[in-house]
Amino acid sequence: MNIFIAGFQHETNTFAPSPADWAAFNSGAAMPAFVRGAEMVERFSGKNMPIGGFIDAAREEGWKLLPSVWAGAAPSAHVTQDAFERITGPMIEDLKAAMELGVDAVYLDLHGAAVAEHIDDPEGEVIAMVRAIVGPATPIVASLDLHANVTQGMLDGPDAIVAYRTYPHVDMADTGRLAAELLKRRIARGSREVIHMRRLPFLLPLNVQSTMIEPAASVYDYLRDLDTRYGTVLSFAPGFPAADFPECGPVVWGYGDAALEAVEALYARVDQPRSQWRLDFFEPREAVELALNLAEKADRPVVIADTQDNPGAGGDSNTTGMLHALLAEDAGKRFPGQIALGLMHDAAAAAAAHAAGVGAEIEIDLGTQVPTWGGQHSDVPVHGKFKVLALADGPVTILGPMMHGVKMQVGKSACLEIEGVRVAVSTGKSQMLDRELYRFVGIEPEQMKLLVNKSSVHFRADFTPIAHRILIAKAPGPMAADPSELPFTRLPADMALQP
Which parts of 284-412 are beta strand (E)?
Answer: 302-306, 339-345, 361-366, 382-392, 395-397, 407-409
Residue ranges of domains in the chain, CATH in brackets: 2-277 (3.40.50.2300), 284-481 (no CATH)
pLDDT value, residue 374: 74
Rounded distance between C-alpha atoms, residue 122 and residue 333, angstroms: 50
Kindly report the backbone phi and psi dihedral angles of residue 234, in degrees, each rounded to the nearest multiple of 5, phi listed first: -100, 155
Strands 382-392 and 302-306: unpaired
**pLDDT tens sequence across 215-260:** 999 999 999 999 999 999 999 999 999 999 999 999 999 999 999 9
Rounded distance between C-alpha atoms, residue 110 and residue 94, angstroms: 17
From 345, 390, 341, 383, select the one nearest 363 (Cα to Cα): 383
From 194, 249, 309, 276, select the one nearest 488 (Cα to Cα): 249
Q: Is 109 helix (H, G, I), strand (E, B) or coil?
A: strand
pLDDT value, residue 394: 80
Our CA angle for 288, 313, 354, nearest 5°, is 70
**pLDDT tens sequence across 142-199:** 999 999 999 999 999 999 999 999 999 999 999 999 999 999 999 999 999 999 999 9
Strands 339-345 and 421-426: parallel
Q: pLDDT per position in the chain (499 positions), as tens?
A: 999 999 999 999 999 889 999 999 999 888 999 999 999 999 999 999 999 999 999 999 999 999 999 999 999 999 999 999 999 999 999 999 999 999 999 999 999 999 999 999 999 999 999 999 999 999 999 999 999 999 999 999 999 999 999 999 999 999 999 999 999 999 999 999 999 999 999 999 999 999 999 999 999 999 999 999 999 999 999 999 999 999 999 999 999 999 999 999 999 999 999 999 998 899 999 999 999 999 999 999 999 999 999 999 989 999 999 999 999 999 999 999 999 999 999 999 999 999 999 999 999 999 999 999 878 899 999 999 999 999 999 899 999 999 898 899 999 999 999 999 999 999 999 999 999 999 999 999 999 999 999 999 999 999 999 999 999 999 999 999 999 999 999 999 999 999 9
Q: Are 477 and 319 in contact (CB under 8 A)?
A: yes
From 386, 399, 466, select the one nearest 434 (Cα to Cα): 399
From 10, 21, 8, 176, select the one nearest 92 (Cα to Cα): 8
Angle between helices 284-295 and 321-328 (to 10 degrees): 50
Q: Is 94 helix (H, G, I), strand (E, B) or coil?
A: helix
Rounded distance between C-alpha atoms, residue 435 and residue 439, angstroms: 6
Q: Are 317 and 347 in contact (CB under 8 A)?
A: no
